[in-house]
Amino acid sequence: MQSGFIPFHVLRDGVRLHGRIGGQGAPLLLLHGHPQTLEIWHRVAPVLSARFTLVMMDLRGYGDSDRPASDAEHLAYSKREMARDAMAVMAHHGFARFQVLAHDRGARVAHRLAADHPQAVERLMLLDVAPTLAMYERTSEDFARAYWHWFFLIQPPPLPEALIESDPARYVRSVMGGRHAGLAPFAPNALAEYERCAAIPGFARGICEDYRASATIDLAHDRADVAAGLRLAQPLRVLWGRHGVVGRCFDVLSLWRERADQVSGDALPCGHYIPEEAPDALAEEALRFFT
């Protein structure tokens, strides 16, 4: 990550959360996806930090944040618990109300954050995701083949963990390199950072528990929201990769309009890893939407 961003650590219920903060202006929380870290923002953060105070954090289980033990219901890695992490990080910096830019797994945390803490989230931009419940319920063969890791990581322990731990860097490269553009979009320093963090003990457990939670407790929380008629009231902008799997397999805008009142969105000329494949287009979208 570029200079000018100050590392921080926040301890919440025994879980140490790592992040970086920098810039000036209104607070903007940035959340990364799988199998990455806050390093994904290295190409857009310099632009956005001229207008916003950026708070970038590693989700629990990822990066330099802790990888806590889980439980039979996977509650420790529910998106509700991760959203509470985000609230604690923002409160630590004195921000009671903020905006959110989030990719992939981080976007699922952001969805729960906006649903559970509407007083805190002013507006949000989600990158290359449809709602978790809809994606599981409407999975096709095309999606299952492309997103094989969704179904591999949720298998009971210890098999997925053991296979990942046998060569964490190979796992990272296989997942990230198996998309539209291969490994070409990733700067060497960024890729090295993802591989370093994947080698930290507990990484495999953390990412498996993240996905196990999404296939169990997170779906229960989402179904409860639907049954209660709970919808996001905040302005929501969704972007997806024109060459990605999500836009090919799902009607992204329609699915988000089932869950939120104010939705706009568009495809960008890239694959899944929008912050690294199309940073200029993303920065332009973010400046327009969040300013």
DSSP string computed for 9-63: EEEETTEEEEEEEEESSEEEEEE--TT--GGGGGGTHHHHTTTEEEEEEPPTTST
Q: Select which of 64, 85, 104, 210 is catalytic.
A: 104
> Cα dihedral sign for 277, 268, 222, 251?
negative
Give the separation between CA 79 and CA 82, rounded to whole angstroms: 5
66 has catalytic annotation:
no
Beta bridge partner(s), residue 98:
121
Q: Where are the alpha helices (DSSP H) in 117-216?
A: 132-137, 141-146, 148-153, 159-165, 168-177, 188-198, 203-214
272 has catalytic annotation:
yes
Give the separation between CA 10 and CA 19, rounded to whole angstroms: 8
Could you give the residue numbers annotated as active site?
104, 272
